[in-house]
Amino acid sequence: MAQLMAKNLGHQDLVWVVPCVGDIEYPTDPDALLSPVSTTILGVEYEVQARVHVLRNITYILLDAPIFRQQTKAEPYPARMDDIASAIYYSAWNQCIAEMIRRYNPDLYHINDYHGALAPLYLLPSTIPCALSLHNAEFQGLWPIRTKKEREEVCNVFNLELETVQRYIQFGEVFNLLHAGASYLRIHQNGFGAVGVSKKYGERSYARYPIFWGLKDIGALPNPDPSDTADWSPEHVNEVLQEIPVDAEFEATRPRLREEAQRWAGLEVKPDADLFVFVGRWSMQKGIDLIADIFPAILEENEHVQLICIGPVIDLYGRFAAIKLGKLMEVFPGRVCSIPSFTQLPACIFSGAEFALIPSRDEPFGLVAVEFGRRGALGVGARVGGLGQMPGWWYTVESMSTKHLLNQFKGAINGALASKQQLRAQLRARSAKQRFPVMQWVQDLEKLHVTAMKKYQKVLNRKSHRLTAPFSSRSSAREGTDSGFQTPATPGTPRRGHSPNRSAHRHDASGNVDLPAASVISPLEDPSARPGLISSASSIMEDIDGDRSGYQTPVAGEQYPELDLERNEHVFAELGAPFDQPAVHSRHVSMLSFDAVVGQRKDYKLQNVDPFFTDAKHEYQQLFEHNIDKLNAKNTYDTVIEEFLVKSEKNWFNRHRAAKLGKRLGMADSKLLARPAPIHSSGGDIQEAITNDALESANLNEAYLKEFSLAEDYKPPTGIKRFMLHKLGDWPLYSIFLALVSPSSMSA
């Protein structure tokens, strides 16, 4: 999406605030160095170095500090979202974005998902027009604030007043970044400005997540097909595609393209094979586990079917799917290709495939369906979010139960296999003409920004005092009148006369490689005025993540083009005059890093977080491999990945709870693999294979403490506290006690 904006928003000045990750080279021209950004975390000031890089109409602000450099292009965000390390990361990023808004004084701040949603709050009481794009509302940025100490600690890490947190951010007992963005729109723009990236995703997010219920609704800003750059006008909206003739020439090339794809993947060369392809992240959200569970039966029942699955492993669902698909390669040699990693794909994979598998549990837009459909592969998958707009076989999701999803998915696959070649050719012809125009997206984006600024101004006019300049008074702000943003006491200035100006940024679901950033954008009425926009950097970060689709590989050592200093001076002079301030702080301030903030302290509440189930010791993976040793069409449903992981996670947390009580759940490798113990929905229990029935009172050794994230000096509870933590069935005794006491307390 970042590349899409760069190519098609040349009439706007964009500023992207980019945290530098550790394994990418960035411009290091000393003349591009800005004065450092000062961030405050836990009451102490820390510096973040900043550099400017201008490429055409885009100003990159590169943030450099150890807290950012510890991430990589493969893992651009912190692994967790509820601990102190992630809180420091997002606090620093948002404070830096806010400082760039102060320096550049943009017309509008475009927020992408939760990542940069806090930035406007650091400007209060000054305000700025905002727009919020929802690319994946399932992730919201959450930290617990259940107790007074937790609230104080989180407020200090994020450098925000408790009143601000309660008004904008807090949702129940959670510090919620995405709720901050929604609250800001509710308070300052009468609830307008939030959009989903497909026609249905906004409505679905509004119905699904209560944090948005303070808004009137969530609109739609459907992502375009980046290759659809032909002219478009609003009159085309209601056009209905008439009967489209089959492209005989293209159909004649398909057997050759399929042979190329089969050779590339190491499959048996069969031009008439039904080739299914999955390209994307191997995660629960993308449904890769459903493919691994269902295709043993599909392959056994249909000798002409072949399967290619490619993409990076993201979570346990992807990891266990990779194991099962690897086993399928052994069971069906020459018919299955599994590549669980980032891979640069040739065009024949898209054009040679007969069907594209897209069984997503949630899909905000579904660009992969458009990319495959435009090249001849028909979609087979779930009608969720933005999916189902291209011709294909789409099943409805009426329940998230594994059994329902598998039944629906298999029905769609069988329907696709039973279809005639003539129907497939007609659907391919229609897919090639289906449009998702870039020009429509540009016009809708411009309309969103203009309307957001008007709504903002309308709310501002109703207030008795002026908080910030209206978006229409950009010229007066340049002439020195009050813009509503106060110049910081020790603001940073670009060196060699570069003056800060605007910013803009957005988020990509296509998988293109880019960097994290924040940006500002506003529509142009007078091209000579060149207004600016700043937006949150999550889109460029997501591009680094490699997708969304997962088939574009980041280039190691990728560098930006060299700085054009004359262009820099021209752009900055055009956008505003330089600040008259020193470029270097006179006091010594430490560079922002996790060690600098936390040091040797172990008493922060945000350090005391429960671990995630990751099967770090591969114990459950070994059991799963043992269970699928004789994999075939009949027993594949006895080893359904999601059911196995749910039971494994429950078992692991039982062991975690026992460790906190000072006990050990036995899980000897010899017993683990001593006998087959298939885990399936008909009653098989993971307890049969894992000896968790043997609780041993023992001293917890260092490895065991580390596995369950317990401190070396951890002391198990004793007395009544320990007694209350014991379970009666699945219920801790304290919960039963509370249930009995509560009614009597209410009646009293």
Count of H-run helices and E-run strands, the chain: 25, 23
Rounded CA gap, 623 and 523, in Å? 57
Q: What is the C-alpha end-to-end distance of the chain, expressed in Å?
A: 60
Cβ atoms of 155 and 165 within 8 Å: the answer is yes
CA 306 to each of CA 8, 291, 639: distance values in angstroms, whole numbers, following the listed order = 39, 13, 22
Lowest mean pLDDT among 245-249, 303-307, 370-374, 681-685: 681-685
Average pLDDT estimate for 575-604? 62
Which tokens is 513 given? Answer: 């490689």
Average pLDDT estimate for 113-133? 95
Rounded CA gap, 568 and 32, in Å? 9
Q: What fold characterizes domain 248-433? A: Rossmann fold (3.40.50)
Rounded CA gap, 387 and 483, in Å? 43
**In this predicted structure, what is the pLDDT of residue 360?**
94
Average pLDDT estimate for 182-203? 93
Lowest mean pLDDT among 101-105, 279-283, 545-549, 705-709: 545-549
Amino acid at 544: I
Rounded CA gap, 530 and 136, in Å? 31
Q: Which of 363-367, 470-474, 586-590 is modeled with the greatest confidence?
A: 363-367
Cβ atoms of 171 and 201 within 8 Å: the answer is no
Cβ atoms of 198 and 366 within 8 Å: the answer is yes
**In this predicted structure, what is the pLDDT of residue 664?**
67
Omega of the bond leading into 125 within 30 degrees of 0 (cis): yes
* DSSP at 223: P
Stated as kind and residue range, the H or E segment containing 362 is: none
Which tokens is 514 given? Answer: 């880019």
Q: What is the mean pLDDT of the chain?
A: 79
Whether the predicted pLDDT of 391 surpasses 50 = yes
Whether the predicted pLDDT of 170 surpasses 60 = yes
**Who contacts 317 (Cβ-Cβ below 8 Å, separation ≥6)?**
282, 283, 284, 288, 289, 641, 642, 645
Cβ atoms of 317 and 290 within 8 Å: the answer is no
pTM for the full model?
A: 0.77
**In this predicted structure, what is the pLDDT of residue 7?**
82
Question: φ and ψ at 556, to 5 degrees?
Answer: -60, 135
State the Cα torsion 580-583-589-591 to the nearest 10°: 130
Reduced to 3 states, what is the DSSP secondary structure of residue 664? strand
CA 265 to each of CA 253, 334, 351, 434: distance values in angstroms, whole numbers, following the listed order = 19, 9, 14, 29
Cβ atoms of 293 and 406 within 8 Å: the answer is yes
User: Which part of the chain is CATH 3.40.50.2000?
Assistant: 248-433
Cβ atoms of 22 and 465 within 8 Å: the answer is no
Question: φ and ψ at 186, to 5 degrees?
Answer: -65, -40
Residue with tokens 């964009």: 14
Whether the predicted pLDDT of 9 surpasses 90 = no
Stated as kind and residue range, the H or E segment containing 284 is: none
Looking at 469-562, list the stretches that DSSP marks H as alpha helix, in order from N- to C-terminal side.
474-478, 538-544
Which tokens is 168 given? Answer: 């904008």
Whether the predicted pLDDT of 543 surpasses 50 = no
Rounded CA gap, 459 and 674, in Å? 69
Average pLDDT estimate for 484-513? 34
State the Cα torsion 435-439-440-441 to the nearest 10°: 100
Reduced to 3 states, what is the DSSP secondary structure of residue 735? helix
